[in-house]
C-alpha cells in the first residue's frame, strides 16, 4: 500500500485515496477477487490502474465502450503509463504488435472489448502473456437482470477457466442487489470475494422533478435561474438539435452532441463545452462516458430515461467538485406511456428479424458458412433505405440478433490513420537511393513520428502534406504507393459504425431466438420503467435521494434535506398561514394596478404549497382584498 500511495501521489497528483479506494486496492493486492460499487465520479479507474502498476505483468481490462477505452488509454499515456486497447477495426498486425508489447513488459494495461473473448485463438494468445490481474469495467453488463445487459460479457467467465489464480476486480456505478449477486455468480468470483460499496448519497446534488407539458419553456426558465455549466439529456438525436436551437434563439450559448455526428465534430463540440465556450450541451446518452468536468452545475433530463440506473449515472455528472448542483427531471403523464410503448417496439416479429439477418449478409456479400470473426464498416441508414425498412425497426432487429449472440454492432468511433515501416534501416536506405521520388516523404515521416520503425504510429496526412507543400490527396496517394511497395503498412482513418459477426452465416431454419429470454428481458425493462415513473410521481412526503439509495440496496438512509420534496416540506413546516398570506399579497402588490396572471403568480411560490396558495387566493377574493382584472384570463390585482 505504500507503493500504491506513492504512485497515486507521483502519477495522479492526489495526496490520499478516497474511501473506499484504499480498501479496494489493498484487497486486490492481497489477491482477493473484488466487487466494487462506486457511484459515478467516485474514481473507479484508479481502483484497478494502481494495483496494475504495483504488480509485475499486464492487467487486462474488459470494457464495453470503444470510446471509453480510447479515452482511458489517452489519459494513461498523458501520465507516462504504457497502455493499449484492442477493439474492432484494428488490423491483425496491430493486434499482434500490442500483444507482443504486453509479452515483453512494455505495456502494463491492455483494454479489450468483451467480443474478443469469443475467439479461442485470442484466449490462447492471452495465455502467453504475464497477466497479473483482470478488471471488468461496467460489470453490470454481465447481468441479465441489469439495465444494460450485453451477451458478450458472458464470455468473460472463460478467462477464469484459463487463468484460475488471477485476481479479478469487477467495477460498476449502478447495480441493484439482484444484479450484484448475478455479477458474482456469472464471473465465478471466488468464495472469499470482497464486496465494497460506497454510499450512493450525493449530498451536494439537489434532485428535482418538475411536472410540465411545455418542456422547452420550463427548461429555459431553469437554465436562466441556475447559473453555470449545464448538460441537457434528450431521448433522440433530432431532439438534441431542436433544444440546442431553441436555447440559442434565446441567447443561451448551447451546442448539441449525438452519435450521428462524425467523430471530429463530436470532439470539437465536447472540447468547446469543456472549455466553457458553450454553457449548455444538449445530448443523447451517447455523451458523458469518460467526461470528468468538475463544475457542472445543472443536469436536466427533458425526456425520461428508461431506468433509474441510467438516470442516476447521468445525473451524477453534475457537481463532481463537491459544490451545489441540480439534477432536474422534466416529466408529464405521457412520458410513462411513451416508455412502455417503446419497449414493445424494441422487439419486432421473428419473421422480420430473419429477413434482416439474411439481408445483412447479402448486403455485405457474405456467403453461407462465412463471416465469423470478421468486422465490417456498416451504414445503418443506407442498409435500411436499400430494403425500404424503417430505421428504428431495423436497428431493433439487429439488437435482437446481438442479444442472441450472432453479431455485435458498435456506434461510430474515430480511428486515426496509422503507419509502420516494414523495411529495416539498411533496406530503407537502399530503397531511398534507388527511388529518390519517395525520399522526401520518407524523411518527413521519420523526422515527424518517433517510433514509426518499431510499431504502428498515428499520423495526420494533412499535417504531412502541409510540411511537404502537397495537396492532401497527393500525400495519401504517395503513402498508398509506399504501402504497395511494402515499404510501409498504411491504414487510413475511418469514422463509421462497425458490425462484427460472432457466428458463421446460417440458413433460415437454423436461426434461433430465445423467446423465453426475450419475454424475461421485456419484463425487466417494464419493471425498470415502472421504478423510474414511481420516482417521478412519488409522494411529496418521501425524499428523492432515499428512493434512489433504497433502489441500489442502501437500507439505512436519512432524508437528504436538499431534494425538492425535502426543501418544500421544510418550508411548509416553518411557514405559518400568516406568512403565506403576507407573501401572496406582497407579490400581487408589486404588480400594482396592472395586476398579475395567476399562473405567473403561482410559479413564483413554493412548489408543494401551490394548492394552499390557490385556496388562500379564493379567501382573499371573498375578503375583497383582491379583485379580477379579467376573470376569463385568470388575471388579478389588489383591490383599492
3-state secondary structure 455-509: CCEEECHHHHHHHHCCCHHHHHHHHHHHHHCCCEEEECCECCCEEEECCCCCCHH
User: What are the phi and psi torsion angles at 622 (to 5°)?
Assistant: -65, -35
Residue 318 maps to a domain: yes
Indicate if 302 and 424 belong to the same structural domain: no
User: What are the phi and psi torsion angles at 364 (to 5°)?
Assistant: -100, 10
Residue 563 maps to a domain: no
Indicate if 249 and 285 belong to the same structural domain: yes
Indicate if 590 and 510 belong to the same structural domain: no
Mean pLDDT, to the nearest integer, of 147-172? 85
Residue 368 maps to a domain: yes
Q: Total domain count for the chain?
A: 5
User: What are the phi and psi torsion angles at 49 (to 5°)?
Assistant: -65, -40
pLDDT number for residue 174:
80
Predicted confidence (pLDDT) at residue 507 exceeds the cutoff of 90:
yes
Residue 568 maps to a domain: no
Least reliable range by pLDDT among 242-246, 247-251, 409-413, 562-566: 409-413
Task: For residues 107 and 507, give the distance between their C-alpha atoms in angstroms, rounded to a whole number.
Answer: 43
Q: Select the more confidently predicted residue: 195 or 576.
A: 195
Indicate if 8 and 77 belong to the same structural domain: yes
Task: For residues 53 and 31, give the distance between their C-alpha atoms in angstroms, rounded to a whole number.
Answer: 15
Beta-strand ranges (E) seen in 273-350 are 280-283, 296-301, 325-331
Indicate if 308 and 383 belong to the same structural domain: no
On average, the pLDDT of the chain sits at 89
Indicate if 264 and 300 belong to the same structural domain: yes
Buried b (16+ CB within 10 A) or exposed e, 392-417: ebbbbbbbbbbbbbbbbebebbbbeb
Secondary structure in 3-state letters for 405-443: CCEEEECCCCECEEEEECCCHHHHHHHHHHCHHHHHHHH
Query: Residue 226 to residues 216, 234, 332: CA-CA distances in angstroms?
Result: 15, 19, 22
Mean pLDDT, to the nearest integer, of 288-317? 90
Query: Residue 571 to residues 34, 422, 542, 575, 582: CA-CA distances in angstroms?
Result: 44, 73, 15, 6, 15
Long-range contacts of 624-627 (CB under 8 A, 24+ apart): 625/585, 626/585, 626/588
Least reliable range by pLDDT among 202-211, 239-248, 377-386, 414-423: 414-423
Q: Select the more confidently predicted residue: 112 or 157.
A: 112
Residue 550 maps to a domain: no
pLDDT number for residue 532:
95
Mean pLDDT, to the nearest integer, of 394-411? 87
- Which of 473, 491, 509 represents a domain boundary (last residue)? 491
Instruction: Give me the CATH number covering residue 284.
Output: 3.40.50.300
Predicted confidence (pLDDT) at residue 11 exceeds the cutoff of 80:
yes
Mean pLDDT, to the nearest integer, of 99-117? 91
pLDDT band at residue 575 using 50, 70 and 90 as cut-offs:
low
Residue written as grid cell 483494454:
111
Say if strands 626-630 and 498-501 run parallel, antiparallel, or are unpaired.
unpaired
Cell of 357: 439477418
Task: For residues 568 and 208, give the distance between their C-alpha atoms in angstroms, rounded to a whole number.
Answer: 11
Contact in structure between 307 and 145 (CB atoms under 8 Å): no
Indicate if 356 and 421 belong to the same structural domain: no
pLDDT number for residue 246:
96
Tens digits of per-residue pLDDT, 197-231? 888 889 999 999 998 878 999 999 999 989 999 99
Mean pLDDT, to the nearest integer, of 260-264? 79
Residue 459 maps to a domain: yes
Instruction: Select from 587, 583, 598, 590 the least CA-distant residue to 629.
Output: 598
Predicted confidence (pLDDT) at residue 492 exceeds the cutoff of 80:
yes
Cell of 615: 385556496
Indicate if 238 and 105 belong to the same structural domain: no
Predicted confidence (pLDDT) at residue 479 exceeds the cutoff of 90:
yes
Predicted confidence (pLDDT) at residue 573 exceeds the cutoff of 80:
no
For the chain, percent of residues with pLDDT exceeding 90: 53
Instruction: Select from 467, 441, 559, 610 the least CA-distant residue to 203.
Output: 559
Three-class SS state of 325: strand
Task: For residues 259 and 616, give the distance between their C-alpha atoms in angstroms, rounded to a whole number.
Answer: 51
Indicate if 227 and 349 belong to the same structural domain: no
Instruction: Select from 37, 46, 39 the least CA-distant residue to 17.
Output: 46
Indicate if 124 and 22 belong to the same structural domain: yes
Q: In which domain, by residue range, is 351 found?
A: 341-413+496-524
Number of Cα atoms under 13 Å in the Cβ half of residue 165: 4
Indicate if 221 and 264 belong to the same structural domain: yes
Contact in structure between 59 and 168 (CB atoms under 8 Å): no
Indicate if 223 and 360 belong to the same structural domain: no
Residue 548 maps to a domain: no
pLDDT number for residue 598:
86
Mean pLDDT, to the nearest integer, of 426-432? 93
Contact in structure between 283 and 310 (CB atoms under 8 Å): no
Cell of 405: 449472440
Contact in structure between 133 and 59 (CB atoms under 8 Å): yes
Predicted confidence (pLDDT) at residue 352 exceeds the cutoff of 90:
yes
- Which of 175, 197, 219 represents a domain boundary (last residue)? 197
Buried b (16+ CB within 10 A) or exposed e, 150-163: bbbbbbbeebbeeb
Beta-strand ranges (E) seen in 234-370 are 254-257, 280-283, 296-301, 325-331
Residue 536 maps to a domain: no
Q: Select the more confidently predicted residue: 267 or 137.
A: 137
Task: For residues 301 and 304, give the distance between their C-alpha atoms in angstroms, rounded to a whole number.
Answer: 6
- Which of 162, 197, 232 represents a domain boundary (last residue)? 197
Amino acid at each position: 500500500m505504500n507503493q500504491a500511495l506513492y504512485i497515486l501521489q507521483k502519477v495522479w497528483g492526489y495526496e490520499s485515496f478516497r474511501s473506499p479506494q484504499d480498501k479496494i486496492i489493498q484487497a486486490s493486492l492481497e489477491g482477493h477477487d473484488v466487487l466494487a460499487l462506486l457511484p459515478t465520479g467516485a474514481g473507479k479507474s484508479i481502483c484497478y490502474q494502481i494495483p496494475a502498476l504495483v504488480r509485475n505483468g499486464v492487467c487486462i481490462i474488459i470494457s464495453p465502450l470503444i470510446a471509453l477505452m480510447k479515452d482511458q488509454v489517452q489519459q494513461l499515456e498523458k501520465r507516462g503509463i504504457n497502455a493499449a486497447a484492442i477493439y474492432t477495426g484494428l488490423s491483425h498486425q496491430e493486434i499482434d504488435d500490442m500483444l507482443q508489447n504486453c509479452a515483453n513488459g512494455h505495456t502494463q494495461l491492455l483494454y479489450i472489448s468483451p467480443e474478443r473473448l469469443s475467439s479461442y485463438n485470442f484466449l490462447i494468445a492471452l495465455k502467453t502473456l504475464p497477466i497479473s490481474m483482470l478488471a471488468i469495467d461496467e460489470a453490470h453488463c454481465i447481468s441479465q437482470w441489469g439495465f444494460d445487459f450485453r451477451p458478450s460479457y458472458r464470455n468473460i467467465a472463460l478467462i477464469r477457466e484459463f487463468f484460475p489464480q488471477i485476481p479479478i476486480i469487477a467495477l460498476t456505478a449502478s447495480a441493484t442487489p439482484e444484479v450484484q449477486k448475478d455479477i458474482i455468480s456469472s464471473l465465478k468470483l471466488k468464495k472469499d470475494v470482497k464486496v465494497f460499496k460506497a454510499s450512493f448519497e450525493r449530498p451536494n446534488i439537489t434532485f428535482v422533478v418538475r411536472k410540465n407539458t411545455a418542456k422547452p419553456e420550463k427548461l429555459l426558465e431553469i437554465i436562466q435561474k441556475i447559473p453555470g455549466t449545464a448538460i441537457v439529456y434528450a431521448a433522440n438525436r433530432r431532439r438534441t438539435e431542436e433544444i440546442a436551437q431553441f436555447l440559442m434563439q434565446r441567447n443561451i450559448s448551447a451546442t448539441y452532441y449525438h452519435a450521428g455526428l462524425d467523430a471530429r465534430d463530436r470532439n470539437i463540440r465536447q472540447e468547446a463545452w469543456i472549455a466553457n465556450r458553450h454553457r449548455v450541451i444538449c445530448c443523447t446518452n451517447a455523451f458523458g462516458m469518460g467526461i470528468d468536468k468538475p463544475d457542472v452545475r445543472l443536469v436536466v433530463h427533458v425526456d425520461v430515461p428508461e431506468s433509474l440506473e441510467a438516470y442516476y449515472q447521468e445525473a451524477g455528472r453534475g457537481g463532481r467538485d463537491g459544490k451545489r448542483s441540480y439534477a432536474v427531471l422534466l416529466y408529464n403523464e405521457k412520458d410513462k406511456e411513451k416508455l412502455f410503448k417503446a419497449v414493445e417496439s424494441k422487439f419486432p416479429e421473428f419473421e422480420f428479424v430473419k429477413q434482416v439477418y439474411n439481408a445483412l449478409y447479402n448486403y455485405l456479400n457474405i456467403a453461407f458458412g462465412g463471416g465469423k470473426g470478421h468486422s465490417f464498416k456498416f451504414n445503418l441508414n443506407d442498409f435500411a433505405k436499400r430494403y425500404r425498412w424503417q430505421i428504428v425497426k431495423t436497428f431493433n432487429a439487429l439488437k435482437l440478433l446481438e442479444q442472441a449472440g450472432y453479431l455485435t454492432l458498435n456506434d461510430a468511433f474515430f480511428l486515426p490513420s496509422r503507419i509502420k515501416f516494414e523495411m529495416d534501416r539498411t533496406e530503407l536506405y537502399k530503397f531511398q537511393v534507388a527511388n529518390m521520388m519517395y525520399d522526401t516523404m520518407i524523411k518527413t515521416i521519420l523526422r515527424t513520428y518517433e517510433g514509426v520503425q518499431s510499431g504502428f504510429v498515428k499520423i495526420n496526412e494533412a499535417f504531412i502534406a502541409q510540411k511537404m507543400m502537397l495537396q492532401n490527396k497527393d500525400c495519401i496517394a504517395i503513402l498508398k504507393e509506399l504501402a504497395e511497395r511494402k515499404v510501409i503498412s498504411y491504414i487510413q482513418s475511418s469514422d463509421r459504425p462497425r458490425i462484427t459477426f460472432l457466428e458463421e452465416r446460417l440458413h433460415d431454419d437454423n436461426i434461433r431466438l430465445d423467446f423465453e429470454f426475450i419475454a424475461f428481458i421485456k419484463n425487466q425493462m417494464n419493471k425498470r420503467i415502472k421504478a423510474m415513473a414511481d420516482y417521478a410521481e412519488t409522494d411529496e412526503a418521501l425524499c428523492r435521494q432515499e428512493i434512489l439509495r433504497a433502489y441500489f440496496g442502501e437500507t439505512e438512509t436519512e432524508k437528504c434535506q436538499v431534494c425538492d420534496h425535502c426543501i418544500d416540506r421544510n418550508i411548509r413546516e416553518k411557514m405559518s398561514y400568516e406568512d403565506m398570506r403576507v407573501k401572496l399579497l406582497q407579490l400581487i402588490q408589486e404588480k400594482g394596478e396592472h395586476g398579475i396572471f395567476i399562473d405567473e403568480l403561482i410559479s413564483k411560490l413554493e412548489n408543494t404549497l401551490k394548492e394552499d396558495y390557490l385556496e388562500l387566493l379564493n379567501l382573499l377574493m371573498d375578503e375583497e382584498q383582491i379583485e379580477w382584472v379579467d376573470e376569463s384570463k385568470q388575471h388579478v390585482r389588489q383591490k383599492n
